[in-house]
Amino acid sequence: MDTARANNNQLGIEPRLAAKQELWILFRCIEECPTGAIVAPFVLDNARCISYQTIENRGIIPLEIRPLIGNWVFGCDICQDVCPVNRKAQKPLQPIHKTEAIHPTGTLDLIELLELTEEKFQEQFQGTSVMRTKRVGLQKNACVALGNDRNEAAVPALTSALSSPEPLVRGHAAGALWGEIATFRGVIIFGNSDQI
């Protein structure tokens, strides 16, 4: 902070407009985060963070968060993309891993992800950060993204996912197909509403 601005603040004088604009730009991540995970400058609510939900969360993605995730299936870089500090950083010429982030503009077919075997998952993602979420997590996330997309072409794949041996995949497929009704039907279909 320059001396003039510091002196003005000590005297109770409003900071100049440019300073206010600089602060807005600096904390633009708060406004741009689709889930409201950045609750204040430098304060993150992990439970609302798309990266947390799609990478680290080994359980159920909360119903109220699912529509906000959009088509993200592995991480989210919105806060990083809008950060003015990061804009000055140089991007590497080659990606560190072949699939560093999978998002709406990525090249993965979400329906193919639902049909991915463990062997194919290992083959496709070995040596990448996607391994952190594991195949079940990636398929769970694909169900959420397909549900948010509301594409009729995904209905057969999501219906097939209802027969998955993995409760998390079944529950999130049901959520994608039936939305909030899945909570009620889940008790009947799965015998355990905790997996919805």
Query: Across the chain, what does the average pLDDT equal?
Result: 77
Q: Find, among 87, 182, 107, 89, the residue nearest to 144 by Cα.
A: 182
Based on the number of CB atoms within 10 Å of its own CB, is 68 exposed (0-12), middle (13-18) or buried (19 or more)?
middle
pLDDT per residue as tens digits for the range 47-88: 999 999 999 999 999 999 999 999 899 999 888 888 887 776
pLDDT, position 17: 46
**Does residue 105 surpass a pLDDT of 80?**
no
Please tell me the least confidently modeled range out of 105-109, 124-128, 151-155, 190-194.
Answer: 190-194
Q: Tell me the backbone φ, ψ of residue 74, rounded to 5 degrees.
A: -155, 95
pLDDT, position 84: 80
Ranked by mean pLDDT, the top range of 15-19, 119-123, 179-183 is 119-123
**What is each CA distance from 123 to 72, 116, 137, 154, 161, in whole angstroms?**
22, 10, 16, 24, 21
pLDDT, position 176: 93
Tell me, rounded to whole angstroms, the distance of Cα 117 from its chain centroid: 23
Please tell me the least confidently modeled range out of 6-20, 70-84, 140-154, 167-181.
Answer: 6-20
pLDDT, position 55: 96
Domains of the chain, residue spans: 18-195
Is the pLDDT higher at 84 or at 129? Answer: 129
pLDDT (average), residues 30-46: 92
pLDDT per residue as tens digits for the range 164-194: 999 999 999 999 998 643 444 444 445 554 5
What confidence tier does 20 reach under pLDDT thresholds 50, 70, 90? low
C-alpha span between 54 and 61 (Å, rounded): 8
Place of tokens 């993965």: 108
Tell me, rounded to whole angstroms, the distance of Cα 176 from its chain centroid: 16
Query: Alpha-carbon torsion 66, 70, 76, 77, what sign?
Result: negative
**Does residue 6 surpass a pLDDT of 50?**
no
Place of tokens 């919805």: 196
Which string of b and e fits 131-165 if b means at least 16 CB within 10 Å? Answer: eebebbbbbbbbbbbbbbeeeeebeebbeebbebe
**Does residue 43 surpass a pLDDT of 70?**
yes
3-state class (DSSP) for residue 39: strand
CB-based contact 76:54 (threshold 8 Å): yes
For residue 102, what are the β-bridge partners? 74
